Amino acid sequence: MNLILLGPPGAGKGTMAFKLKEEYKLPHISTGDLFREAIKQQTDLGKKVKSIMDAGNLVPDELTSALVKEKLEQPECRRGFILDGFPRTIPQAEALKTFSSIDKVINFTIPEEEIIRRLSGRRVCRSCGESYHTEFIPPAKKGLCDKCSGELYTRDDDTVDAIKNRLAVYRTSTAPLIDFYQKEGLIENVDSSPAPEEVLNILKKILDSRN
């Protein structure tokens, strides 16, 4: 089963990728991990990635696609895989089509207010880096870290304005991909506002009934 996961920041894509990986014993492939792995192993592609990233540039589509291709050819991907963060662009989606076939593209949808609620409540300890959430993982004492009593703060990324901005960027860049896979008949929209276990059940129904 070859899957692609799409979803805005705060939609819980990472959590669901993890749950799907456990449930179906499929490798979870994220481009960030692929870059790190290739650099560490000093493969030819890894060396190229490193020099591009060291220069502060974005890894181009062809190189990213080549890394994904290399990964999908590994024995561990023979039974399928979960792609997370790839493809990100139409050229990447077109490249993917030349070396793999996709069974489903799961598009996590969630109301913007819910994303803001999830992300804007995040707090991080200034001293030890521990994460909290004002609503879901509150510290024992408001504004203070349970572990080290350090001051909790809101990262610049997690202010309401920054979140709205990230969502706008996401929508603009992902809309063409959703169109692309809609035309291929592969998109499954899944509302990820419910609790993770419930979302997993919805996904299992979709995935187990395919074909």
Q: Catalytic residues, which ones?
A: 13, 88, 122, 155, 166
Report residue 170 as tokens: 């996401």
Contact pick of 37, 114, 130, 191 for Zn ion (by CB under 5 A) = 130
Q: Where are the alpha helices (DSSP H) in the chain?
A: 13-24, 31-41, 44-54, 61-72, 90-99, 112-120, 160-183, 196-208
- For residue 124, state whether it binds Zn ion (rule: CB under 5 A): no
- For residue 173, state whether it binds Zn ion (rule: CB under 5 A): no
- For residue 125, state whether it binds Zn ion (rule: CB under 5 A): yes
Rounded least distance, CB 139 to Zn ion, Å: 9
Rounded least distance, CB 131 to Zn ion, Å: 10
Q: Are 87 and 176 in contact (CB under 8 A)?
A: no
Our CB check for Zn ion shows the closer of 102 and 125 to be 125
Stretch that binds Zn ion, among 52-60, 62-70, 84-92, 122-130 (CB under 5 A): 122-130
Rounded least distance, CB 155 to Zn ion, Å: 14
Q: Are 167 and 85 in contact (CB under 8 A)?
A: no
Distance CA 197, CA 211 (A): 24
Which sign does the torsion angle of CA 97, 99, 104, 108 carry? negative
The site for Zn ion (CB under 5 A) is made up of 125, 127-128, 130, 145, 147-148, 150
